[in-house]
Chains A and B, each alone.
Chain A
Amino acid sequence: QVQLVQSGAEMKKPGSSVKVSCKASGGTFSSYAISWVRQAPGQGLEWMGRIIPMLGVANFAQKFQGRVTITADKSTITAYMELSSLRSEDTAVYYCARGSHITGELDYWGQGTLVTVSS
């Protein structure tokens, strides 16, 4: 049974950074990527980036270039997403999801982590 368990909710000040973790278990991850997707309140899904833990290779949506860092610890199959220079518009639920890095579908999702940015 594949499970992705994310870290808990965060409250951050504008200008600070947040780091969200996503620990994977069950199933196989050798040929999979971990993607990060966010959803602002009442809004749609937004793809942020992904990493292939076994290779340590990551790519990001252009919108987040320079502000997001995605890393992974392949020994524990844990992925991390760090977003810096936070602003109020970054208030959202952040999801991690497992996806085939070849076909691209996101088949298992974490429970989501609410990040609130407020002064």
Chain B
Amino acid sequence: QSVLTQPPSVSGAPGQRVTISCTGSSSNIGAAYDVHWYQQLPGTPPKLLIYGNNNRPSGVPDRFSGSKSGTSASLAITGLQAEDEADYYCQSYDSSLRGSGVFGGGTKLTVL
């Protein structure tokens, strides 16, 4: 049972827009901790996709965007491409866990 809740899977056709939600609580996302998003391709380490709720590291296409509101956050991917098929994880910290890091359970994105 992950502290942050994500849908197990989402799917979309090439060119479409998909969103992945990340629901937390008042001790993590709602406590003003930033939310970060990672993309993981099979057999590789996670890659930072979005940091500080809505910032993209250099080299990440602007098709990826993040947002946060209250105790939830979302990752949006527009203009879906085949290479976007991967697992996506949200991450934050939790004050009730003495500032420990917490991850969502991960969402498998399938490009139809």
Cβ of B48 under 8 Å from chain A: yes
Q: Is the interface of B mostly helix, strand, loop or mixed?
A: strand
Nearest opposing residue in chain B for A112, CB measure: B45
How many pairs of A and B residues are in contact by the CB < 8 Å rule? Answer: 70
Cβ–Cβ contact A59 & B103, under 8 A: no
Measured CA separation A104–B95 after assembly (Å): 13
Measured CA separation A37–B97 after assembly (Å): 16
- Residues of B within 8 Å of A, CB-based: how many? 28
Measured CA separation A45–B93 after assembly (Å): 14
Given the known inter-chain contacts A103-B34, A106-B46, please indicate yes or no for A62 contacting B101, CB distance below 8 A.
no
Cβ of B24 under 8 Å from chain A: no
Which residues does chain A contribute within 8 Å of B33, judged by CB atoms?
Answer: 104
Cβ of A69 under 8 Å from chain B: no
Interface residues of chain B, those whose CB is within 8 Å of chain A, are 2, 33-34, 36, 38, 40, 45-48, 51-52, 57, 87, 89, 91-93, 97-106
Interface residues of chain A, those whose CB is within 8 Å of chain B, are 35, 37, 44-47, 49-50, 59-62, 95, 97, 103-107, 109-112
